Structure formats: structure tokens, C-alpha cells
Structure 1
Amino acid sequence: MDIRQAINDRRSIRSFTREPVTQETLREVLTLATRAVSAVNAQPWEFAVAAGDVLEAIRQDNIAFYDQDRPTDVPDIMVDGIYRERSREIGKALFAAMGIERGDRARRNEWGQRGFRFFDAPAVIILSMDQMLDNTTFRLDMGCVIQNICTAAMEFGLGTCVEHQAVMYQETLRRNLHIPENKRIVCGIAIGYPDWEFPANQVISTRVPVDEITTWCGF
């Protein structure tokens, strides 16, 4: 798979087969990903990779907290204006693909649970960085390594879904994955072999044309 194809074909995968991903494959993905751009070569990224019983314990905690309507440890992502319109667009596309009606509270609730279950992926990568590092400069580095993970995964036939939702209940992550308080948990990445029969996996989000967001100077 060439780079152009990988970038164009990448999408968020929200259902996976039961086939496990080997530790060696995940190690290869992360090794490739850590070639990411890094300011002053700080390489702030740290990974905790969970599978099996450990991942299931986190899932169960997340669902229990969600069903209890427990306040999250970090706020949900809120956007306004054109950014909210784009968010609504992908939400509508996903619900349409899944046949989830606007007033169907039960299925909407089940969809919310799926995110906290890491979409039932066989493995999840939790990314963190040291609290002592600037949360602006070095979060850019984290974004670079996240994109590399998603792209590198495709070389091995894997799909990914980058999740903020997956790290909203952080106590269970710290306890089960031994992440100390001096580490800032950034996001989670569900990873596994895509279930291509799942309707939402056919949804590809739109992108604004480049000329609408680019100022060309001196050409």
C-alpha cells in the first residue's frame, strides 16, 4: 500500500472482527509510528497497550460508569459554529448507516456505550505524555504520532478509531494500565481487523476542499 492510498483510504473503524492482534504486530505499528515529527526531538509519546482480560476490565468499568451517569474525569469535546455543523454531519451519516432514528433513545444509548467499549476492538492503545511538558507544543507531536499509528496500521490490514471518549473515565485506565498521575492521558486508539459487514464502517467523512481553507501567496 502506497502512502497516497493509505491516507485516502483511512477511516474510523467502529466495529472489529474477533481476530486478535499479536503483540509483535502492534510493536511493529508503534515502531513505525515513532518516526513521527517531534519538536526538539523530545518524543513525548508513551503507550499503554491493552488486550484480553485487562481490556475487558476497563470496558466493564467504563460501561458501569456510563450507565450510572457518573461524571467523567475530563469534559466531552464541545464545538460551535461551522465546526459543530461538521460534527453533526458525520453523526447523521453514522446514524443513517446504522438505521438509528432520532427518537430511538435505546439505540442511541447503545451507540454511546460502543465508544466506551472501544468499539469492541481486540486491542487499544492509550497515549500519554509527561505532565511537565507544555500541553500545546508537545500535543502537536502527539497528533503526529497518532496519525502515524493510524496510517501504519493499514500496512498490516488493521483499522483504527482515535477516541477522546475512550479516556474520559481515567481512573480505571490509570489503575489497570499503571499510568501514574504525572502522565497526562491524551487519547485512546481502538485497533483491530475491521468488520466490513458493519454499516458504519462504510461511512467516510467529508473534507473541506483545500482551496476553501488555503491562502496561496506568491504563485
Structure 2
Amino acid sequence: MFRQVGSDVRGSRWARTVPRVVSDAPSLDDAVALATRAHAGQLDKVGEEYIGHPLRVMRAVAAAADEAGVDREHAQMAAVLHDVVEDSAVTLEDLVSLGYPPAVVAAVDALSHRPGEPVEDYLARVAADDLAVAVKRVDMADNGDPARLARLPADRADRYAQRYSSRMRLLDDLVATRKAAEGAVTQVEWAAAQKAVEGKAAAWGSDPPAASAT
């Protein structure tokens, strides 16, 4: 089934200026096309077309997704779209209207740095979403790629290298803290369940109650 998306999405310059017909289930190719339009005319820090960055992240995240235990296609969609909300007129509402999976939209939301938002708060949001974490790690690795940074003046290259290295460590720490907290909750729940079982066993004696005849 196809539907017209555009003028009915309020508050979006993208929706008002780029009418489009889309299916209810966008493919990875659709995501690439959307990102390409969204980043048209933008350049990266070394002066190349910006779309090259999300495309590299998209390609690299496939292996990372398997290792992280997240859906590969969702990771690739989130990767190629990870900057469209932050750096273009595309909105989260547009992505929902276009039919992108909720997990992809949630990851793009987590990956979109709000204006004035402290880095710690931003990365804490990323750390709460496994799909976003997989994408962000590859994103920062690409941004901090020594081969690309070598094309910049040394002082700028050093600043970028330090920035992405420190942010990667912070993200790893935040993810580890989250996992530890989740593990602690799981242990508490397990202990409570074990105690309940032991209590029932004590009430039953050595044998559980017999099943009633039917």
C-alpha cells in the first residue's frame, strides 16, 4: 500500500517542501535516498560531501550490530539517518509518517544532539538505547579516523582525536553503568523469586501439593 506523505505533517519544512509518495515499510535503499536528499549541499570537516560519513557508518555498523546483538537492518537504517534530524529539516515526525520502524526512530532520536545539551546528557540518552550505542560507536570511530584527521591541520586533528577518544570512553562508562544496574535489578528479582520458591517448598514439605483430579 502506498500513501502520500508531506503536507499533512505539520511543523516540518522538509514535509512541506518535498512532497513524496512512500510505502508503509521503507527499505534501506529508501533510508539512503532520504539521507542523501537531507544532506545535499552539506560538507564534512575535510570538505567532502557530508553524505559520505553516514554511508560509511551504515556500511561499518553491520558487523557491529551482530556483535551488539541488535537488528542489522535497523542498525544500518539508523546509521545512515543518524544526522538527518540534527542537521536537516527532517523531523522525527517525518520518519514516523514515512513508516520507519519504531526502533529506528527511537535510535535516531537518541542520536540527535539537542541544541545546548551537555555532552554527558546526550551520551546518557545514547547509552540507554542498544541500537543507538552500536551506531554511535561506529560514528565516533569514523569521525576520529586517523587517516581522515591527517588531512586537517595538526592542531584541529589533535582536538578532534581527543574529543572522540574521551567521548568514546564516556559512552563505554555509561553503558557499563547501565548494564551493571540492570544486572543488579536482575539479581534482586532472581533472589526474590528464589526466596518465594523456597518459601513454597517449606510450606509443602518435601513434596509439592498433588494436582487435583479432573
TM-score (norm: length of structure 2): 0.30
Higher helix share: 2
Higher strand share: 1
TM-score (norm: length of structure 1): 0.29
